[in-house]
Amino acid sequence: MTSFPAGYRIGHWTDTVGRTGCTVILPPAGTTAAVDVRGGAPGTRETGVFTPGNLVSEIHGLVFAGGSAFGLASADGVMAWLKRRGAGYSIGPVRVPIVAAAILFDLAVGSPDAFPDQAAGEAACAAAREGEIETGAVGAGAGATVGKILGIARAARGGLGAAAVVLPGGERVAALAAANPFGDVVDPDTGHRLAGPDARDGRFLTARALLGDALLDSPLAAANSTLVCVATDVACDQASLKRVVIEAHDGLARAVRPAHTVVDGDIAFALAPAGPRPSLLTRLRLGAAAAEAVARAIVNAVG
């Protein structure tokens, strides 16, 4: 069973006909966030706020959504749902929910007119629960595909995956990943391809093809992203958490080849209880665990 640390609630809204959806992560009160964008084609909302030294570092909701830029509307629903419950950053007489979002492109696999909207975001919040995370073709992973170098028709199924690592002291580092990459998903240890384009050749590797094969430009080359969230129960200051989220991208690069391309919107978020800077050893362990959990979550997404 894979779950996030105690207090986290995760919910999905899935359109099985349109093959799209959104996934909402609702952290416990007092959670701080860091973000790192490595892809060349990101689609995001409220990522600039999570910079060490800025006024606000707390987060009240995170949304991963299909539907390309249209899917960012689902974050409006999460804001409305949180506002009705009094959650948010206090500014004078009001509380403003801080809701970040990242999107992936799935408009070519189901209906081009189907995407998560405000109502979808609210529905995902209403469905959010603690405990075991539902994975596969659900939520943001409903229309995800892997390996579009030969076109969408020959891409493999992507999806939503989760994994967790337990540190020696019992601390938990968990990851959730929506895998929709341009590259292949591979076994991080062996490099064996687990998901990629149907090339009638089981040895086909996208990274190798880019270096040596005769290829034509794909009209869907820009329709990719791997979206990652890492959460831990170890209290962190935002600067330390920023380093954790940077290292989380190592896991993405181990499981997706090539990763962080100009046509991917690869992004990682890290969430933790706000607190003092952890010890050096703890920070090293958090970074290593984040990378490991992310790699496992991506593999789980296509399993």
- Tell whether 1 is covered by a domain: no
Q: What is the pTM of this model?
A: 0.95
- Tell whether 231 is covered by a domain: yes
Q: What is the spatial distance between Cα 242 and Cα 236, in angstroms, rounded to a whole number?
A: 10
- Tell whether 64 is covered by a domain: yes
Q: What is the spatial distance between Cα 168 and Cα 148, in angstroms, rounded to a whole number?
A: 40
* Main-chain phi, psi angles of 111, to 5 degrees: -100, 130
Q: How confident is the prediction for the chain on average, in pLDDT?
A: 94
Residue 220 reports pLDDT greater than 80: no
| Pairing mode, strands 156-157 and 159-166 | unpaired
Is 215:259 a contact under the CB 8 Å cutoff?
Answer: no
Q: Name the residue range of residue 146's domain.
A: 9-301
- SS3 assignment for 141-168: HCCCEECCCCCHHHCEECEEEEEEEECC
Residue 222 reports pLDDT greater than 80: no
- Tell whether 253 is covered by a domain: yes
- Tell whether 82 is covered by a domain: yes
Residue 96 bridge partners (DSSP): 89
3-state secondary structure of 288: helix
Estimate to the nearest angstrom the gap between the alpha carbon of 54 and the chain centroid: 23
pLDDT, one tens digit per residue, over 164-193 is 999 999 999 999 999 999 999 999 999 999
Please state the domain count of the chain.
1
- Tell whether 4 is covered by a domain: no
* Main-chain phi, psi angles of 92, to 5 degrees: 60, -125
Residue 131 in tokens: 């405990």
